[in-house]
Amino acid sequence: MAATRPDYVTMAGSARPPLPGESPGGNAEPGQRMRVTLMLRHATPLEAPGLGRRALRRDKFVARHGARGDDIERVRQFADASGLTVVSEDRARRVVLLEGTVAAMAEAFDTPLMRVEYQGQEFRAPGGDLRIPASLEPVVHGVFGLDTRPVAQPRFVIAHPDAVVGSFAVPDLAGLYGFPPAFNGLGQTIAIIELGGGFTTEDLDTYFSGLGLATPSVTPMPVDGSGNAPGDPADLEVMLDIEVVGSIAPAASILVYFAPNSEQGFVDAVSSAVTSSARPSAVSVSWGQAEKLYSASFLSSMDSVLQDAVALGVTVCVAAGDRGSSDGVGDGDQHADFPASSPHALACGGTILDSDDGTRIDSELVWNDDSGATGGGVSDVFPLPGWQFDAGVPPTVNASGFAGRGLPDVAADASPYTGYRIRADGSDQIAGGTSAVAPLWAGLIALMSQYLGPDGTGFLNLVLYGDTSAQQTCNDIVSGDNGSYPAGPGWDPCTGWGSPNGDRLLQVLGTWAFAQVQAGLI
């Protein structure tokens, strides 16, 4: 790598902190070929989310807010000057994909690329913050692919069969939560994000036939060279997501985006899903980790992708984590899980649900037992969004006292001891975790969107926080805690507004949509 270039500037916040237990190696193999995603700025900034604002059609979104043609041209010139190849450009996703050798990439971004060992595997990571030409500083939002270390964990928990005190077939759980049986997701698309694992048609056929349902349409969507690859521990996450969504909305089209578990894979998968021409009603994300373990550049870039989803009328449902208010970090502070902590995501927390006869909920409290606990709390990164001002979000309990985005927004059954009956890798299992809650809410949103028509629910958070009657569409959870935060009446940092009441949500959304039409807002 040449000496630091005077025409370059540092991309502050582009370096990730070391992973716990990683060990450095030598320089990465200079001749190895690699690909890097450059995320660019919006052509014009997006407006803050607002209740009643109509979702943009994809073509209008691209024309107004996609990448600028001259910005893409600047990246092309940079690539040519650096000996890199432009593989693809996508104005909707605001990305340009570049390819070149490790040596060329290190030179282009004025940063050494190193080998890193983590959990018995070898990865690549930059030796510090990246540097780019000053002319690109206002254009490039993030650079992803130089660092290949894992970036997220699946949020599922398996219970030992002897420990299960009650379990539910997903349709029965949907019945307890009042999901409207008249809707099945017909005409809707639901996207699922996976950073590993895969599914088999045999398992899906066996599972759905056992429920008396036809196997739904499930299409793998490869991202960055990954695809449906069963035979991995993450299979259980994949099957849980598909089976929960498919049980609730069996007539919906399910698109499963498989990507590498890296910053590049994660952001590329989510951006591909939310800007898809299939226009999903909802996107389900059951992967994440504590905010402090990401680079600031990744946090900002992923949040901008989720902001794109809001503009397009897509709710991204994200698991809030399974290790309580500390998110398992162990440094004495409390940590929010990302991407759930983004103010443009519907953060999904967990409960323990009891139903003696399977026809009514006898009790429901915050999930916190020896299997895990729901994530939740206050972001250390994202300030309190305007739509959350009146929810009673406390400042963080950390020393900073930061007034951040509070999470979760909603919740549902998550304890594996009262978990979901699923099938994975040829066997029936009981699973829980907030991994189950994200697809459950995504399925419910698809049912609501089927009822509401082309504009669907839009960004559900705006309705939940902006309409007091909408807040009554959740079963308020007032007992329990997730470590440092207790539950209580109304919104709380354990279960948000609470678990769903689908019948009431259907009524409120119908009334709300009618009022918006009458007012000429949608």
Active site residues: 237, 241, 435
Separation CA 408–CA 28 (nearest Å): 40
Helix, strand, coil proportions of the chain in percent (round to 5)? 30, 25, 45
Q: Are strands 287-290 and 253-258 parallel, antiparallel or unpaired?
A: unpaired
CB atoms within 10 A of CB 135: 13
Whole-Å CA distances, 517 to 51, 447, 462: 13, 20, 17
Cis peptide bond prior to 408, omega within 30° of 0:
yes
Sign of the torsion formed by the C-alpha atoms of 96, 57, 222 and 293: positive
Q: Which of 34, 90, 75 is nearest to 225 (CA)?
A: 34
Q: Under 8 Å CB-to-CB from 189, ≥6 apart: which residues? A: 252, 253, 254, 255, 276, 278, 279, 280, 281
User: Residue 315 is which amino acid?
Assistant: T
Separation CA 31–CA 235 (nearest Å): 33
Phi/psi at 14 (nearest 5 deg)? -85, -15
Q: What is the dihedral of CA 352, 355, 356, 359, to 10 degrees?
A: -170
Q: Which of 475, 473, 370, 455 is nearest to 412 (CA)?
A: 475
Given the structure tokens 């498989």, which residue do they identify?
Answer: 258
- H/E/C letters for each residue in 193-262? EECCCCCCHHHHHHHHHHCCCCCCEEEEEECCCCCCCCCCCCHHHHHHHHHHHHHHCCCCEEEEEECCCC
